[in-house]
């Protein structure tokens, strides 16, 4: 073994794919010092640095909670025995068309996505879907994105709090904003976010985003609707439409960006379609920033827009087997515990231990422990770089899929990465005026947000020190309203779909400006996700937006 090791790879935690370098000295050295442990470095050539989430890489690769054995209903099993059993069971279920479904996370390589698609073919199913679910709405957009151009743009119009979801992009955006007098940063959202202090903010009523953008498009097309926004409860005046339109029309190198998270925007497919049109009419660039590292690549390879059929099929008992690569279905499918009884076979891969999981659980790898290719925001195929050895016992999902295909068909498969293009746009619903009524039983609005200190399901990050200190999950609400209500340290949130008792987070730490009547939760946590509906919207996209809620002591 060489005396020291250096791995140049990509941060696995979001689509910005920042470069990271993991180093350690000779682990076998007789003199053992700090340098013999894994340490994280940022590439000096990148001026974006890393966000707190990026720093979790080290905690995860060295976590004592890593799963290192195949577990079957909580009991350890030999890998080849488990593959044999799964292959036999899957072969039987696959005798009938579309009785097995595959869900694959956006944190996989292109090669793994092609393998997963091949596995789906061998299993006689077309039902292969993508998570995080909110990224499905973005697959038909071809990103017109350049890190260089964005930092030199004269106008950035961001829909969604990109500073929270993709933290290191904030450097480029602030640089662009400050580069020249007269440069603009506009921010449209349903709650003030981390970006607010730097931007001209337009905070509109939850559920009204697509409607507001449709009016903006009409205005830009010189097709002014006679609308008095002030009467629609949208919470912003009509002059905001005029201001945004004027800025977009006059920009010479402007960017429109869309960034969403579970439980936030309603009808994301409709929103991105409208924004894309606005970008085209005003001659600005448009890009979507997915949650997961390679959702654009994975979703486009597997074909996309299957999540509706998959979840419906499981709920309606039409599906017998579920395979989930890269995440536990119990954590990313809200309410899964209620309908897992409908399934006779469940296989999942995961990074960390989960001793009470029912089904086959395979120990998996992080993308820093993999080789392969991914699609960058700039629409280029990039390689992950040099991979760390997986923790003993863990295998990448690509290896797992190859073994399953071999077990099912007897054939060896070779992973490859081909051309990846956006998928065809799904037809979208008409833009309608949202119905806004006062709901006396559910007087609050619950909004899902992303916090950079959290990642994934929460199962991961609850293991990290930051979360151990501060606890989680939790809720935030308007500090004065909280004081007035006189509630204690824990509040029960009740929605039409579920309820969760959550501690009140440190309100002075919340980066969000929370109006009265709004409660927010980080939707990385299962306890928070389940408060939102696992139902499709009017565009038949499974990506919940803000919902009505009530609070109970
Ligand atoms: S913004 Fe943070 S999570 Fe995203 S790639 Fe960069 S360091 Fe990783």
> Residues in the chain with pLDDT < 70?
1-2, 224-232, 436-437, 452-472
273 and 151 in a common domain: yes
Which domain range does residue 360 map to?
70-132+294-409
CA distance 349 to 14: 19
Q: Which of 9, 10, 11, 150 to mutate to test the pocket of ligand 1 (most atoms within 8 A of CB)?
A: 11
- Name residues whose C-beta falls within 8 Å of residue 76's C-beta, 6 or more positions apart in sequence: 69, 70
d(CA 58, ligand 1 centre) in Å: 13
pLDDT computed for residue 225 by the predictor: 65
- Boundary (domain end) residue, out of 36, 61, 86: 61
d(CA 27, ligand 1 centre) in Å: 27
364 and 310 in a common domain: yes
203 and 124 in a common domain: no
Residue closest via CA to ligand 1's atom 8 equals 54
87 and 30 in a common domain: no
Residue 414 lies in a domain: no
Ligand 1 within 6 A of 12 CB? Answer: no
Longest Cα pair distance anywhere in the chain, in angstroms? 78
- Quick one: which of 325, 331, 360 has its CA closest to 345? 360
pLDDT computed for residue 454 by the predictor: 56
340 and 271 in a common domain: no
Residue 429 lies in a domain: no
Helix (H) or strand (E) holding 10: strand 4-10
pLDDT computed for residue 29 by the predictor: 81
- Assess whether the previous peptide bond of 97 is cis (omega < 30° from 0): no
391 and 307 in a common domain: yes
CATH number of the domain that residue 540 is part of:
2.40.40.20
Exposure letters 484-499 (e unless 16+ CB within 10 A, then b): eeebeeebebbbebbe
475 and 402 in a common domain: no
Residue 126 lies in a domain: yes
- Residue for token digits 């205005």? 219
280 and 298 in a common domain: no
The DSSP symbol for 70 reads E
Ligand 1 within 6 A of 168 CB? Answer: yes
524 and 395 in a common domain: no
397 and 371 in a common domain: yes
pLDDT computed for residue 467 by the predictor: 46
Exposure letters 257-283 (e unless 16+ CB within 10 A, then b): bbbbbbbbbbbbbbbbbbbbbbbeebe
pLDDT computed for residue 26 by the predictor: 87
Residue 433 lies in a domain: no
- Boundary (domain end) residue, out of 393, 409, 425: 409
Cβ atoms of 318 and 101 closer than 8 Å: no
Pairing of strands 490-495, 499-503: antiparallel
CA dist 533 to 5, 160, 249, 473, 508, Å? 46, 20, 38, 18, 29
d(CA 305, ligand 1 centre) in Å: 26
CA distance 114 to 128: 12
459 and 323 in a common domain: no
Residue closest via CA to ligand 1's atom 2 equals 51
The pair of structure tokens assigned to 420 is 């990846």
Pairing of strands 70-72, 360-363: antiparallel
**515 backbone dihedrals φ, ψ, rounded to 5°:** -70, 165
Domain count, the chain: 4
Predicted TM-score (pTM) of the model is 0.94
- Boundary (domain end) residue, out of 246, 273, 288: 288
79 and 43 in a common domain: no
pLDDT computed for residue 458 by the predictor: 41
Pairing of strands 200-203, 39-42: unpaired
Residue 220 lies in a domain: yes
> Residue 13 in 3-state DSSP?
coil
CA distance 350 to 410: 25
Q: Which atom of ligand 1 is nearest to the CA of 52?
A: 2
Ligand 1 within 6 A of 446 CB? Answer: no
Q: Which of 9, 12, 13, 21 to mutate to test the pocket of ligand 1 (most atoms within 8 A of CB)?
A: 13
Cβ atoms of 507 and 518 closer than 8 Å: no
Residue 148 lies in a domain: yes
Residue 437 lies in a domain: no
pLDDT computed for residue 436 by the predictor: 66
Ligand 1 within 6 A of 290 CB? Answer: no
pLDDT computed for residue 143 by the predictor: 97
- Quick one: which of 333, 306, 390 has its CA closest to 533? 333
Residue 428 lies in a domain: no
CATH number of the domain that residue 221 is part of:
3.40.228.10
């Amino acid at each position: 073994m060489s005396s020291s090791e250096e791995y140049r790879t990509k941060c696995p935690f979001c689509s910005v794919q920042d470069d990271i370098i993991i180093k350690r000295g000779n682990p076998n050295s007789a003199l053992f010092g700090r340098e013999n442990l894994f340490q994280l470095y940022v590439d000096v050539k990148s001026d974006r640095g890393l966000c707190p989430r990026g720093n979790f890489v080290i905690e995860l690769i060295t976590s004592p909670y890593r799963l290192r054995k195949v577990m079957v209903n909580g009991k350890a099993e030999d890998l080849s025995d488990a593959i044999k059993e799964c292959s036999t069971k899957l072969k039987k279920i696959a005798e009938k068309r579309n009785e097995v479904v595959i869900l694959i996370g956006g944190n996989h390589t292109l090669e793994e996505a092609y393998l997963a698609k091949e596995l789906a073919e061998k299993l006689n199913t077309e039902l292969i879907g993508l998570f995080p679910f909110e990224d499905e709405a973005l697959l038909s957009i071809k990103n017109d994105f350049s890190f260089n151009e964005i930092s030199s743009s004269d106008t950035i119009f961001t829909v969604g709090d990109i500073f929270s979801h993709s933290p290191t992009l904030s450097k480029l955006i602030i640089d662009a904003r400050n580069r020249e007098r007269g440069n603009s940063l506009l921010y449209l959202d349903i709650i003030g976010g981390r970006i607010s202090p730097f931007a001209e903010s337009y905070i509109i009523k939850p559920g009204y985003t697509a409607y507001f953008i449709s009016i903006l498009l009409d205005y830009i097309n010189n097709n002014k609707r006679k609308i008095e926004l002030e009467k629609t409860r949208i919470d912003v005046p009509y002059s905001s439409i005029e201001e945004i339109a004027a800025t977009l029309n006059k920009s010479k190198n402007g960017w429109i960006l869309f960034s969403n998270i579970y439980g936030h925007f309603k009808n994301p497919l409709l929103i991105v379609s409208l924004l894309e049109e606005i970008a085209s009419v005003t001659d600005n660039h448009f890009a979507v920033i997915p949650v997961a590292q390679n959702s654009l690549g994975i979703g486009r390879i597997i074909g996309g827009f299957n999540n509706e059929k998959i979840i419906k099929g499981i709920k309606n008992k039409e599906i017998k087997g579920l395979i989930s690569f890269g995440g536990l279905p119990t954590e990313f499918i809200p309410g899964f515990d209620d309908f897992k009884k409908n399934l006779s076979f469940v296989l999942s891969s995961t990074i960390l231990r989960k001793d009470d999981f029912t089904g086959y659980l395979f120990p998996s790898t992080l993308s820093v422990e993999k080789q392969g290719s991914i699609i960058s925001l700039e629409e280029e195929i990039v390689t992950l770089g040099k991979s760390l050895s997986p923790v003993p016992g863990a295998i990448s999902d690509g290896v797992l899929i190859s073994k399953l295909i071999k077990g099912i068909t007897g054939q060896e498969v070779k992973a490859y990465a081909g051309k990846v293009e956006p998928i065809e746009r799904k037809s979208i619903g008409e833009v309608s005026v949202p119905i806004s009524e006062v709901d006396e039983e559910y007087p609050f609005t619950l909004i899902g947000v992303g916090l950079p200190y959290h990642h994934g399901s929460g199962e991961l990050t609850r293991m990290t020190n930051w979360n151990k200190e501060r606890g989680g999950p939790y809720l935030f609400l308007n500090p004065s309203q909280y004081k007035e209500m006189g509630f204690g340290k824990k509040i029960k949130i009740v929605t039409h779909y579920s309820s969760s008792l959550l501690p009140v987070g440190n309100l002075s730490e919340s980066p969000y400006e929370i109006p009265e009547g709004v409660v927010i939760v980080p939707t990385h946590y299962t306890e928070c996700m389940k408060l939102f509906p696992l139902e499709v919207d009017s565009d038949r996209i499974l990506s919940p937006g803000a919902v009505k809620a009530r609070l109970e002591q």
